[in-house]
Amino acid sequence: MAIIKNLQTEEIVVLFSEHNFGRGKHNRTVVPGNDISKSHAVVSFVDNAWYLADQSSNGTLFKGKRINHLSMKLAAGNQIQFGQEQDTIWLVLNVNPPICFLESLSENKEIIELSTYSAYPNEESPEVSFYRTADNRWHVDNGLQTIALTHGQSLFFADKEWCFYENEVLDQTLCIPEISVETCFLFSLSVDEEEVAIKIKINNLELDLGQHTYNQVLLALARKRQADLEKGCQETELGWISMEKLTFLLGKELLKEIDNYYVNLQIHRLRKRLMELNPFGHLLSNVIERRNGELRFEHNNFRINKENAIGSLN
């Protein structure tokens, strides 16, 4: 994402895909001064580049030259001056494309850029994770529930308050394939169930999750959903299981003590793996849902096959 810095105040500003500057309070960045127009200039991301467009009465200094009602392409190192005062001079630090981000509301602002999948503070010990679902919305998983994020929404984690900002250019309607109905999760279990392999079949395409510890978590959740389907439970209540019961079941299966941190870490690793499975893995990022300390496997279409004594699946 593109960042500019005020050379006098040292304020750091992240540029939005359309970023207005001026004296009026409606601007994203308010620039005070009698020689500043109410709507002085706009910086926009167009055709993979950033452009400064002057809209003022007095003009804008760009690289030391005054422009008036002109549009100029930005590059790192450019200086922009909106008025006569020194506190109206900004330096372009970089011209990276706009992306969604989080900004801490503390005095020393911290910024977290959101890639396709992000974990904080790190992937080895995630306190929260952020991921995009098939409807192109960002969600946060805090270990207790998943929340769909909206622009300007406040969050609290890591002992700080944060604000989520949508900041992407969507020039055309995104074409997102409707794969939910066409998707089938195939669980293949060894006789002793110590080995669990999962493949995801989408039409004639197969995505391989391989054999990983998080497969045991997904299997336990799928079995709970299967049991509820057989009971005839309503769709809204299918498959939900408390974290306490899930850790107990996994502990019995894996023959070791399992805690919430362990389960949350496996879910994080599962989502990260799905994001890496091209071309459709990222559309299944919400395969595990949460609500108030409960979890469930989100899909109804799955098969659990177990090897018999002679090694074939049934």
Q: 50 pairs with which residues across the strands?
A: 45
Residue 172 tokens, joined: 């055309």
What pTM does this model have? 0.83
Residue 275 dihedral angles phi and psi, to the nearest 5°: -65, -25
Residue of 170, 177, 162, 166 lying closest to 110 (CA atoms): 162
pLDDT in tens, the chain (314 residues): 999 999 999 999 999 999 999 999 999 999 999 999 999 999 999 999 999 999 999 999 999 999 999 999 999 999 999 999 999 999 999 999 999 999 999 878 899 999 889 999 998 889 999 999 888 889 999 999 999 999 999 999 999 999 999 998 755 434 455 544 478 999 999 998 889 999 999 888 899 998 999 999 999 999 999 999 999 999 999 999 999 999 999 999 888 999 999 999 999 999 999 998 888 888 899 999 999 999 999 998 999 998 754 444 55
Contact between 242 and 209 under an 8 Å Cβ cutoff? The reply is: no
Residue 238 tokens, joined: 């299918």
How many Å apart are CA 295 and CA 259, to the nearest integer?
Answer: 14
Torsion of CA 24, 26, 30, 34, to 10 degrees: 0
Unique residue bearing structure tokens 């330096």: 91
